[in-house]
Amino acid sequence: MSGSLTIAGLGPGAAGLVTPEVSVALDEATDVVGYIPYVARVPDRPGLVKHASDNRVELDRSRLALDLAARGRRVVVVSSGDPGVFAMASAVFEAIEAGPAPWRELDIRVLPGITAMLAAAARAGAPLGHDFCAINLSDNLKPWALIEKRLRLAAEADFAMAFYNPRSRARPEGFARALTLLQEVCADSRPVIFARAVSTPEEDLRVVPLPKSTADMADMRTMVIVGSSRTRVIARSGPPIVYTPRSAP
């Protein structure tokens, strides 16, 4: 049997959000490779070898997975959410491009998943129902000036904005700067959704007007969605519904 490499998205956490296609790939794998908490989500079974690694070693992890596949193993690299959105797929392809030529000829597939942005949006209503953008607020791999430039242009374009990695221990101040920038540029009371750990037992959802949003409302497990100027909040007895209408003037 020749080896293969599948890069699979496990969704945001709940088993009900793992696609059947991904479940089949995991059932057929000989090796699962990924960040510790994601590998832990894959049930143990005889014949399955798990390779769990710490955060921030994406390229090492990718090379391990590629090497295993090249040696004939059926390898699944697991990501949270969708592997193609601020997750493992790009890291694997970076490793392939810089690696030995035979890696390019491996049997490689990417299996999409429910990315955090879609799960968070669904819980809140439909804040991404019109044009939107997705920005990784981590400045590990890009300069902060580029993040600020994108925030300004996204506000000018009147996109709704989904922010991945708003806050981490290593960068506590970046998200506060992003919020201050948006408060100045947008100058309105559009809703901001702080969606923490959606679809897990720790799920928590808050909707806060932009001027009252503060950085401590997000942590490493929070997805932040900022509405466009046209995003609406429907009040009701339960949590409000936040949605962006389909039309724009």
Task: Name which of 83 and 222 has its Cβ closer to a copy of itself.
Answer: 83
- Of the pair 204, 216, the CB lying nearest a copy of itself is at 204
Contact between 31 and 64 (Cβ < 8 Å): no
Decide whether 156 or 216 has the Cβ nearer to a copy of itself: 156
Q: Please identify, using beta-carbon distances, which residue of 69 and 85 lies nearer to a copy of itself.
A: 85
- Residue 24 or 40 having the CB closest to a copy of itself: 24
CB of 209 to a copy of itself, least distance (A): 18
CB of 57 to a copy of itself, least distance (A): 13
User: Which CB atom, from 49 or from 220, has the smaller least distance to a copy of itself?
Assistant: 220
**Which tokens is 57 given?**
């070693």
Structure-token pair, residue 229: 């100027």
Q: Dihedral of the CA atoms 142, 148, 151, 154 (nearest 10)? A: -90
Is the distance from CB of 152 to CB of 179 less than 8 angstroms? no
Alpha carbons 148 and 150: distance in angstroms, whole number: 5
| Tokens linked to 84 | 């193609």
Q: Least CB distance from residue 25 to a copy of itself, whole Å?
A: 10
Q: How far is the CB of 230 from a copy of itself (least distance, A)?
A: 10
Angle at 31 between CA 29 and CA 36, to 5 degrees: 120
243: β partners:
126, 232
- What kind and span of H or E run contains 208? strand 204-209
- Cα separation of 78 and 38, whole Å? 7
CA distance 166 to 135: 9
Smallest distance, a copy of itself to C-beta of residue 84, A: 4
Q: How far is the CB of 36 from a copy of itself (least distance, A)?
A: 20
